Structure 1
Amino acid sequence: MKEVLFPRHVKVHEILALYIKGLYGDGFFYAPVTENGITNYYLICIKDDCVISPSDTIITESMLAYLLSEKENSEYGSLNITVINNEIFNAIYEEYKNQGKKYRVKSLKIYTAISVSVFLFTMFIFVFFLY
């Protein structure tokens, strides 16, 4: 996995959920998360273009097995199950980098417009007081 810098007020998995929703739409997504030798799973369920609130979380393997076994008998039975692998994560990461580039370009345009405005205003005041 790659390290990505995220805004402080937004949790990492919340951003991941938004990118998965934007790139892949509806579905039942999960990815193994191993920490200190223990494997848990990140789970997200997206239906009707909405992230199902309790699903955007880390769960145990037994809970994942239970949810997958009961999925077909629930209102989410029509959703495809997708394991978030490196290919999907790389696509999400590339989209994140592209969004960052767009944000930087937009910020540069705004800062340039403000700088030019301040410069023109200063020149106007300077010329006004000369005459």
Structure 2
Amino acid sequence: MPVDAAVTLPHETQSRVALADVSVSLLRKLWEQYGPLMFHQSGGCCDGSSPMCYPAGDFITSDADVLLGVLDIAPAGGASQPIDFWMSAEQFAYWSHTHLTIDVVKGRGSGFSVEAPEGVRFLIRSKLMDSALPFE
């Protein structure tokens, strides 16, 4: 069952980001190796358009980024393990009407994302939202 992110954007009630089951399992493993994690999706070319996973704080966000949600991968009854999902504001302007699910596929993505040594990469699957507020 997918894990939906907590809503973080003002005036919204619907989650914009979720984790596929396989992503939750991988992220728990990565959390054990690297500690707290974060995602950033820049919208650049090539692997830059894929969600990149970093140890929390290793990628510096700014006013040019939007926090789309906070995912929690804690097992039932376990301590919270929050993972922020950030996207560049410019990219979010294009994706403002989509819900994103973070999935895992075989193959190597960017060497900068912590899952790369596992022989897999994170991938975004998107679907149109029924109602989304335009990004301002």
Answer yes or no: same fold by TM over 0.5: no
Which has the larger helix fraction? 1
Pair member with larger Rg: 1
Which has the larger strand fraction? 2
The higher relative CO (CA closer than 8 Å, separation ≥ 6) is in: 2
